[in-house]
Amino acid sequence: MLNLEKEINERVAFIKNILVESNAEGLVFGNSGGKDSALVGILCKKACTNTIGVIMPCETRRNYEQDKEDALKIAEKFSIETKIVDLKGIKEAFVNAVGETTHLTPGAKANINPRLRMTILYSVALSENRLVVGTGNRSEGYMGYFTKWGDGAYDLNPIFDLTVTEIYELLRYLGAPESIINKAPSAALFDGQTDEGEMGIKYIDLDKYIMGEPIGEELKEIIFKAHQKSEHKRRGPYNYQAKTK
């Protein structure tokens, strides 16, 4: 069990220290209306009053309806300043431009969304001397369930080491809206998508494995294959380095 108050205080202190070290004046994060961004937003606001959450809907109905509503709920409850950038037109123009030179697969098209969001966040950060705060968790990281140079790009991440189970525990303690806690986790890159459906495993089983608890062999195999396949995402770029200079 987490010592919830201690966890919160230490993560808030971590954010404050990075702000001081970087000489930044504020923070910016993508407010998706999901569990991870909700916790990040709360922690950021506790650490820095000059925190902005950017809501960036793109294409899917859930983005424009349920997720946007939940993002606004968390912003209102915890007094987080909000900006909204609609990415639908940008995405369409991007797909049309790239489509003239290559055939974009469904996966490639879907991953444009988080990379566009990363570009927006860094544009705001550079313009306003802010740091971009990541929202990825330990469970997703282990499975490689994030977009390289999309939601995997950030300046700091205060929830990097937390499993999804722990994130829900902290959200309940902090009084996050029930609609965020109860809805199925989803990157909402296309209609009907859910994290668990796409990964083929429930977070509760994944978190048990990560924490060293027993799960079935079939589930272990799913986790092993996903982890192995996504190693390049966690490792970072492969840079050539000559043996002698």
The answer to whether 147 and 43 are in contact (CB under 8 A) is: no
Over 70: is that where the pLDDT of 245 sits?
no
* Mode of pairing for the β-strands spanning 81-84 and 51-55: parallel
Q: Is residue 135 part of a domain?
A: yes
Whether 231 maps to a domain, the answer reads no
What is the crossing angle of helices 35-47 and 68-77, to 10°?
A: 30
Determine the pLDDT at residue 243: 83
pTM for this predicted structure: 0.95
The answer to whether position 16 is within a domain reads yes
Catalytic residue among 36, 59, 151, 195: 36
CB atoms within 10 A of CB 106: 9
Give the helix/strand (H/E) hosting 55: strand 51-55
Q: Is residue 137 one of the residues assigned to a domain?
A: yes
Q: What is the pLDDT of residues 113-141, one digit of tens each?
A: 999 999 999 999 999 999 999 999 999 99
> Which of 70, 140, 166, 195 is an active site residue?
140
Stretch 43-68: mean pLDDT, rounded?
95
Q: For residue 105, what pLDDT is reported?
A: 95
Radius of gyration over alpha carbons of the chain, in Å?
18
Give the closest residue to 30 by CA, choosing from 153, 204, 139, 179: 153
For the chain, counts of helices (H) and of strands (E): 13, 4
Mean pLDDT of the chain: 95
153 in any annotated domain: yes
At 230 the pLDDT is 96
Residue 186 identity (one-letter amino acid): S
Residue 238 lies in a domain: no
pLDDT digits (tens, 9 = 90+) for 165-212: 999 999 999 999 999 999 989 888 888 889 999 999 999 999 999 999
Give the residue carrying structure tokens 């994290």: 195
125: containing domain:
4-194
Residue 140 is among the residues annotated as catalytic for this protein: yes
Q: Does 84 fall in a domain?
A: yes
The total number of structural domains in the chain stands at: 1
Q: Is the sign of the CA dihedral 50, 32, 159, 177 positive or negative? A: positive
Q: CATH number of the domain that 129 lies in?
A: 3.40.50.620
Q: Does any domain span residue 230?
A: no
